[in-house]
């Protein structure tokens, strides 16, 4: 039997059980597929063949020793702002590159569970953007139409999964970077609760908001990956204890939908129709639709790029920026340089405003269990995005930018295709540590697809 086209978990596991191929044969096939696709701008660096063979041999040894390997032989990709020992970390900025001596905590836990790292993927530089065009390594394209953006900032990670080059991948998500590329490439994108997964070994965008995210073919697979990575890390002060038992949703769950006047599809009537269909599908699953006021969420979203959290992006590169600003992507540089317009007083006032908005947004949770939103209101071509890089990127964050500021978990799900063949997605979101409950709901969603 040939290695499955999609490299999905179930297909690989079945093949391994039936001895139809080995982990080494799988990663050799992965290398062939990557070479065949050629210059697709997905990869910044690939793990050398001899190192892939070493990883494959190591997990075979562990298997013989009886070691638990829940991700045995699953090839995965790593966004290149996350450390993998032996590979440069660039954050899509060659002048920034460094050689980490150890892998990020999340990466190491995946390797210890039997997964095989294939390489480092392209991204919007310093994880600043939701579109996938802000990189000197090129712009990965939507797998369904190369004229369209792949979404960012975790662009290469999403395309690597959607193109059948790996079985799953890691992204990061500060403003929507683990969800937007999922929607544009018909994938599941899991954005965990802040602190559920260690961010040690991750180049920060906004350290107080950053999350390591997952791209996978199914919510069930994304849940498995999360459960391998999660848990406290003594080396990371941002990790949090996971409550036990975890929160769950009632069988007749209440899902929140913004008032009609607050929905925005930026002229994309096909996306609006698919969203309507998705809401009807949730109702068939036992959900009860409840309208809520989206304004506090939108106001919170504005703080991320129009408030003092821009200064946190400068904090991430403060020693690099003074000497290397001219070596950065112009749009990224312009965004980060906005930090100069904020003071320490502004930072505190921003925190005060965020606390007010959190209290206002909390009123919605008295009537709903989760939000059901479009992941994005529309999708753009690469040409459109390059012509209006800031305005259109802001549009892409309409339903995503507030989430980490309000301490929510999120799960992006495929939700059909437009007549032109481009995918649409929805995102389910709920308060912190509802990750597993969202994944369970996502599994039911996909079972009924």
**What tokens appear for 313 in the block?**
């992006």
Are the C-beta atoms of 160 and 77 separated by less than 8 Å?
A: yes
Are the C-beta atoms of 365 and 172 separated by less than 8 Å?
A: no
CA atoms within 13 A on the CB side of 281: 20
Helix ranges, 230-366 (H): 269-284, 295-306, 309-316, 321-324, 330-337, 344-362
CATH of domain 9-229: 3.90.1300.10
pLDDT at site 1: 60
Pairing assessment for the beta strands 423-431 and 408-417 based on DSSP bridges: antiparallel
Annotated active-site residue 36? The verdict is: no
pLDDT by residue, tens only, the chain of 449 residues: 689 999 999 999 999 999 999 999 999 999 999 999 999 999 999 999 999 999 999 999 999 999 999 999 999 999 999 999 999 999 999 999 999 999 999 999 999 999 999 999 999 999 999 999 999 999 999 999 999 999 999 999 999 999 999 999 999 999 999 999 999 999 999 999 999 999 999 999 999 999 999 999 999 999 999 999 999 999 999 999 999 999 999 999 999 999 999 999 999 999 999 999 999 999 999 999 999 999 999 999 999 999 999 999 999 999 999 999 999 999 999 999 999 999 999 999 999 999 999 999 999 999 999 999 999 999 999 999 999 999 999 999 999 999 999 999 999 999 999 999 999 999 999 999 999 999 999 999 999 86
Quick check: helix, strand or coil at residue 414? strand
Are the C-beta atoms of 412 and 188 separated by less than 8 Å?
A: yes
Annotated active-site residue 198? The verdict is: no
Q: Whole-angstrom Cα distance, residue 76 to residue 157?
A: 9
Catalytic pick from 41, 153, 154, 218? 153
**What tokens appear for 20 in the block?**
């139809």
Are the C-beta atoms of 13 and 217 separated by less than 8 Å?
A: no
**What tokens appear for 319 in the block?**
């020693």
Identify the bridge partners of residue 292 per DSSP, sorted by sequence position.
Answer: 258
What are the domain boundaries of the chain? 9-229, 254-408
How many CB atoms within 10 Å of residue 244? 6
pLDDT at site 449: 64
At a CB cut-off of 8 Å and minimum separation 6, what does 444 contact? 285
Catalytic pick from 177, 198, 213, 218? 177
The pTM assigned to this predicted structure is 0.97
Quick check: helix, strand or coil at residue 232? coil
Smallest CA-to-CA distance from 201 within 94, 79, 95, 54 is with 79
CATH class of the domain whose range is 254-408: mainly alpha
Quick check: helix, strand or coil at residue 227? helix
Q: Whole-angstrom Cα distance, residue 9 to residue 168?
A: 9
Are the C-beta atoms of 376 and 413 separated by less than 8 Å?
A: no
Q: How large is the angle between the packed helices 309-316 and 344-362, nearest 10 degrees?
A: 120
Are the C-beta atoms of 409 and 193 separated by less than 8 Å?
A: yes
**What tokens appear for 63 in the block?**
């298997």
At a CB cut-off of 8 Å and minimum separation 6, what does 316 contact? 126, 203, 204, 205, 206, 207
Q: Whole-angstrom Cα distance, residue 207 to residue 315?
A: 9
**What tokens appear for 297 in the block?**
């969420």
Q: Whole-angstrom Cα distance, residue 62 to residue 223?
A: 23
Q: DSSP string of 47-72?
A: --HHHHHHHHHHHHHHHHTT---TTT
Q: What CA dihedral angle connects 111, 112, 115 and 120, to 10 degrees?
A: -10
Identify the bridge partners of residue 141 per DSSP, sorted by sequence position.
Answer: 149
Annotated active-site residue 150? The verdict is: no
Instruction: Give residue for tokens 């979203």.
Output: 301
How many CB atoms within 10 Å of residue 226? 23
Are the C-beta atoms of 71 and 113 separated by less than 8 Å?
A: yes
pLDDT at site 152: 97
Catalytic pick from 41, 79, 150, 213? 79
Q: What is the DSSP letter of 149?
A: B
What sign does the CA torsion over 65, 66, 71, 74 have? positive
Are the C-beta atoms of 274 and 389 separated by less than 8 Å?
A: no
């Amino acid at each position: 039997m040939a290695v499955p086209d999609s490299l999905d978990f179930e297909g690989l596991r079945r093949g391994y059980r039936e001895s139809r191929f080995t982990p080494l044969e799988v990663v050799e096939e992965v290398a062939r597929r990557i070479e065949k696709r050629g210059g697709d701008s997905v990869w910044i660096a690939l793990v050398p063949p001899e190192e892939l063979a070493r990883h494959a041999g190591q997990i075979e040894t562990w298997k013989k020793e009886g070691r638990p390997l829940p991700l045995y032989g699953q090839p995965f990709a790593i966004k290149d702002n996350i450390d993998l020992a032996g590979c440069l970390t660039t954050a899509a900025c060659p002048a920034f590159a460094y050689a980490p001596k150890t892998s990020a905590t999340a990466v190491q836990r995946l390797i210890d569970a039997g997964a095989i790292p294939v390489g480092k993927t392209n991204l919007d530089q310093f994880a600043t953007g939701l579109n996938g065009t802000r990189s000197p390594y090129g712009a990965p394209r939507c797998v369904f139409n190369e004229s369209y953006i792949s979404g960012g900032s975790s662009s290469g990670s999403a395309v690597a999964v959607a193109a059948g080059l790996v079985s799953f991948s890691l992204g990061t998500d500060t403003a929507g970077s683990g969800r937007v590329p999922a929607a544009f490439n018909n994938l599941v994108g899991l954005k965990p609760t802040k602190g559920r997964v260690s961010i040690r070994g991750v180049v920060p965008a906004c350290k107080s908001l950053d999350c390591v995210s997952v791209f996978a073919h199914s919510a069930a697979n994304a849940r498995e990956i999360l459960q391998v990575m999660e848990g406290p890390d003594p080396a990371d002060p941002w990790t949090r204890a996971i409550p036990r038992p975890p929160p769950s949703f009632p069988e007749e769950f209440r899902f929140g939908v913004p008032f009609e006047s607050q929905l925005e599809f930026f002229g994309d009537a096909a996306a609006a129709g698919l969203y309507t269909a998705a809401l009807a599908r949730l109702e068939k699953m036992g959900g009860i639709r409840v309208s809520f006021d989206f304004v506090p969420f939108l106001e919170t979203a504005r703080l991320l790029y129009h408030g003092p959290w821009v200064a946190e992006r400068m904090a991430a590169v403060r020693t690099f920026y003074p000497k290397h600003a001219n070596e950065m992507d112009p749009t990224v540089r312009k965004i980060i340089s906005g930090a100069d317009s904020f003071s320490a007083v502004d930072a505190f006032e921003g925190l005060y405003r965020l606390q007010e908005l959190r209290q206002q947004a909390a009123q919605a949770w008295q009537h709903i269990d989760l939000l059901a939103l479009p992941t994005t209101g529309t999708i753009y071509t690469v040409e459109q995005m390059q012509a209006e890089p800031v305005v259109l990127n802001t549009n892409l964050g309409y339903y995503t930018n507030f989430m980490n500021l309000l301490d929510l978990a999120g799960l992006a799900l495929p939700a059909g295709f437009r007549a032109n063949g481009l995918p649409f997605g929805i995102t389910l979101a709920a308060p912190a540590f509802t990750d597993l409950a969202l994944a369970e709901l996502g599994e039911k969603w996909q079972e009924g697809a």
